[in-house]
Structure 1
Amino acid sequence: MPTPDHAPLQLLHPTWHIRPSRTSDYLIATRLDRTHLTDEELTAGLCMTLVADTLPLLTLALSEQSTLESP
């Protein structure tokens, strides 16, 4: 079960809305800064929404997204 304290992660990723699922079985992160991604961005591995079973896994996924977006 994910830890409910995702506030520090939210501060690190302000362009994402991070929240637990309704059942608190997993965590969800959805982009706030875009309404869609281009085909090129999707092919490069960017995602509009991330789902992870644990806070460390979501942290890693968000970090990977940041790396993919870096020039």
Structure 2
Amino acid sequence: MGSSKLIGVVLLVVGVALLYFGYQASQSVGGQISATLTGQYTDETMWYLIGGAAAAVAGAFLTFFKK
């Protein structure tokens, strides 16, 4: 396994973990109240979701498409 594939797998795992934490934060009581009152998620939740999506996409690209 090449170093780029190894980095890709690590990024993919980290990205999925961040997405999970972002989902959990969005389903919390505080997240639900904030989303109800303001119409959007908290900044922390958004960073988890954006960072997780970016890391997962980069990791998937390095793992599956990079040769």
Which category of TM-score, normalised to the shorter sequence, fits these structures?
Answer: 0.3 to 0.5
**Higher-Rg member (1/2):** 2
Q: By percentage of residues, which structure has more strand?
A: 1
TM-score, normalized by length of structure 2? 0.35
Name the structure, 1 or 2, with higher relative contact order (CA <8 Å, separation 6+): 2
Q: By percentage of residues, which structure has more helix?
A: 2
TM-score, normalized by length of structure 1? 0.34
